[in-house]
Structure 1
Amino acid sequence: MTISLDRTDLKLLRLLQQEGRMSNAELAEKVNISAPTCHRRVERLFDAGVIQSVRAVVNPQAVAKGTLVMVGVVLDRSTPESFSEFEAAVVQIPVIIDCQLVAGEFDYFLRVRVNDMEDFNRLHASHLIALPGVRQIRSFFVMKEVIDNSPLKF
């Protein structure tokens, strides 16, 4: 379902990106609409898939996942079957927090959250190199996260 977004919808989206725990009453007040109207608009945004989910952002260090590794993956073949096999396997590895099919030198980029380099080494040896169709893996340890999960600007 595609919907047209007006100025009020965009303001609702910006506010919810900043503070997803904001109550409907607070949100309605900030947008200058009634609470029932606000609720209907937000539900419409969910139903249309504009808002995909609301969740907490957890501090990775607090749950022993403070090391971020970017992993470039090159597959043996560039076929729909090899992509499907790889994607089906990669979603089974919980520490992979993002996986994107890309154009260029690599086929995929993965973002991996682990405790430390030793933890990543175990993951690499036991899971990453065993992923179907993998020809090459290049790992990049993130030294500093300058921007992480920034809200969309519109």
Structure 2
Amino acid sequence: MLTINELDELDKRILQQLQKDASLTNHELALRVHASAPTCLRRVKRLTDEGIISRQVALLDASKLGAGLTAIVEITLDHQATEKLVEFEQLVAQEGAVQQCYRVSQGPDFVLVIQVADMAAYHALAHRLFATHANVRNVRSFFSILRSKFETAIAL
């Protein structure tokens, strides 16, 4: 498995370009990173096979698709045994509106990022996921009023 220390400058240039625009053709990528097309193809395949590139996706504008409310939610469970944590993770993994789920330390057990249409949709989701779940002790929700930065790129 490759680590950051095993990536050379070409690997890093390739990853930086793909983080900006993964829809580049191999030829366009090669031009941007100053390498041959066959070299780029081999490198991207290696980076994918090694798991450095985990997947390529399209980022959608939630507000244009009717999902304009972002909630950041802290969840504290009554019981934190491993099986209870995994059970909660499996519950939220099935919910499409939950975009991210983090198990965290020092404070709540989980932090979720949720994208829904509006407050009514959030209340329905909160009832379905939290209020009816016997192990959820505390829910603390924050609602985004402005997203001033959103990046998916990892600094290399």
For normalisation by structure 1, the TM-score amounts to: 0.95
Per-residue deviation at 1:23? 0.8
* C-alpha distance in structure 2 between counterparts of 1:69 and 1:80, whole Å: 26
**Segments of 4+ in structure 1 off by > 6 A?**
none
Per-residue deviation at 1:132? 5.4
Amino acid at match of 1:125: H
Per-residue deviation at 1:130? 2.5
Per-residue deviation at 1:63? 1.5
* C-alpha distance in structure 1 between counterparts of 2:133 and 2:38, whole Å: 49
> Aligned ranges for residues 29-108 of structure 1 at < 5 Å?
29-108=31-110
* C-alpha distance in structure 2 between counterparts of 1:6 and 1:84, whole Å: 37
Q: Identify the range of structure 1 (141-150 vs 125-134) with the bigger mean alpha-carbon deviation.
A: 125-134
Amino acid at match of 2:102: Q
Please give the secondary structure, in 1, of the residue aligned with 2:67.
Answer: coil
Query: Cα deviations across residues 5-25 of structure 1 (Å, max 9, x unaligned)?
Result: 000000000000111111100
| Structure 2 match to 1:2 | 2
| Structure 2 match to 1:12 | 14
Gaps spanning 5+ residues in structure 2: where? Answer: none
Per-residue deviation at 1:151? 1.3
Work out which of the residue numbers 24, 27, 46 in structure 2 matches 1:25: 27
Aligned residues of 1:2 and 1:48 also touching (Cα < 8 A): yes
Q: CA RMSD in A?
A: 1.2
Per-residue deviation at 1:64? 1.0
Amino acid at match of 2:2: T
Amino acid at match of 1:124: A
Q: Identify the range of structure 1 (144-153 vs 70-79) with the bigger mean alpha-carbon deviation.
A: 144-153
For normalisation by structure 2, the TM-score amounts to: 0.94
Per-residue deviation at 1:142? 0.8
* C-alpha distance in structure 1 between counterparts of 2:81 and 2:128, whole Å: 25
* C-alpha distance in structure 2 between counterparts of 1:129 and 1:83, whole Å: 17
Give the length in aligned residue pairs. Answer: 154
Percent identity between matched residues is: 32
Please give the secondary structure, in 1, of the residue aligned with 2:142.
Answer: strand
